[in-house]
Amino acid sequence: MAQVNPENSTPMPAEATRRRFLSQAAGIAAGGAVLALATIPPALAAAAADPIFALIDAHKLAQAKLKTAEAAHAAVERDLQARGLLFPKVSIPELDAMRDPSEQAMNEAYDTALETLDTAVETVPATMAGVMALLELQRDLWELNEGMFDRGHLSFICESVETALQNLRTA
């Protein structure tokens, strides 16, 4: 057994000190790995594993662009209305030149938003977090009731969720 020396310290045999050092080093390394994994947000980890998140984000971006295009087109129509030109009895080339670009931009934005929605609802999520995200998208679109989301989209979401749950159950 080790004896206490006059400096109030206990000399440890070299083997025990080396073993303790290796044990502590392994503990620190394992703890560092756990901390490194813990710092990755679960949503980010799920997004990396499930393409549905990128598709939902693409649809939300397309939806925001559509809102911007609709607002721009509405501003053009308000201006034309204020000038008494919104509903003329004959086609006026200048009127078409003022209205058509914003209307075309709005229609293109709508088409893009619809395409991204179609792609998102037809994609089978790969994770439970993806299933939840798709269901949240469905709820949000249903509550907005803007006419883009219809029964066909709801049917695709149901099929995608069902397939995802079957896949996750067997995984």
**pLDDT per residue as tens digits for the range 80-110:** 888 777 776 667 777 778 888 999 999 999 9
Q: Which residues of the chain have pLDDT under 70?
A: 1-48, 88-90, 145-146
Residue 166, SS3 per DSSP: helix
At residue 166, the pLDDT reads 95
The whole-angstrom separation of Cα 14 and Cα 33 is 29
Buried/exposed 43-72: b ≥16 CB within 10 Å, e otherwise: eeebbeebbbbebbebbbebbebbeebeeb
Q: Residues 168, 134: contact at Cβ < 8 Å?
A: no
pLDDT of the residue at 17? 57
Q: What residue ranges do the domains of the chain occupy?
A: 43-170
- 134-146 pLDDT per residue, tens: 999 999 888 886 6
- CA-based nearest residue to 112, from 157, 163, 168, 70: 70
Give CA–CA dist 152/164, Å, rounded. 18
pTM: 0.66
Dihedral angle sign, alpha carbons of residues 19, 22, 25, 27: negative
> Tell me, what's the pLDDT at 75?
92
Nearest CA to 113 out of 124, 121, 101 is that of 121
Residue 111: per-residue pLDDT: 95
Question: What pLDDT sits at residue 126?
Answer: 96
